[in-house]
Amino acid sequence: RDFARAGLLAGLFRDLFLLGAGPADVLRSFLGSLGPRKLLGIHFRAGNESDWSDPARHGLPDLGQALACAAALEQLLGLPGDTAWLLASDTPKVREEATVARLHAAGKIVYLESRPTHIDRSTPDAHAVLESWAVWWALAFHTEALVLSHSNFGWSAAEIGQRRAFHFPTCRPADVTSP
């Protein structure tokens, strides 16, 4: 499939990101810590599980579906067993979920940001915003594929970065091209 618009945007975003030392430094450190491991992205947007007012997107019990989709994609795409899953979310509550905590302790689930932050809804914190942009950049340009929830954060990363994308309630391919 031809992603002409996304390709143009990807080029613009790459050049713009080169100007931002903060997010680039955070991303470089994260990627260095992974070594040669491949990366699968998971974006889980709960919506109503944070400090700001936001409509519900996915309930925390739905997190298991996102993880099951990631496991299925890893196998379907023939990714190595040591592939890391970058879990990005809008709420720290996902990190408290038992399966997530176990997979994180085993090194399967990784986090780029020190705490989940929403770029335009969280309390302003310069370093947290830099980390959020680094997460978006990792999802857009450094993953083999993305597991998406209902959120423009992940969908825009998939479109602009031209990533293979799958919507986790069904784990079916997601068409992330804009009309």
Shortest CA distance to 152 belongs to which of 138, 143, 140, 142?
140
Q: Left, alpha or beta for 173 (phi > 0: left; psi -120 to 50: alpha)?
A: beta
Q: Which pLDDT score is estimated for 52?
A: 57
CA angle 113, 78, 107 (to 5 degrees): 35
Q: Which residue has tokens 């990101």? A: 17
Distance CA 48, CA 38 (A): 31
Of residues 153 and 96, which shows the higher confidence score? 96
Segment 93-119 mean pLDDT: 91
Do 114 and 131 touch, CB atoms closer than 8 A?
Answer: yes
CA angle 110, 51, 113 (to 5 degrees): 20
Q: What is the pLDDT of residues 11-62, one digit of tens each?
A: 666 655 555 677 888 999 999 999 999 999 999 987 656 665 666 666 788 8
Do 23 and 134 touch, CB atoms closer than 8 A?
Answer: yes
Tokens representing residue 18 in the block? 């080169």
Distance CA 54, CA 72 (A): 30
Model-level pTM? 0.85
Percent of the chain with pLDDT over 90: 50
pLDDT at 132 exceeding the cut of 70? yes
According to DSSP H, which parts of 53-165 are helical?
63-76, 93-96, 98-105, 126-141, 152-161
Q: Which pLDDT score is estimated for 78?
A: 98
Q: Which pLDDT score is estimated for 55?
A: 63
Q: Which pLDDT score is estimated for 127?
A: 78
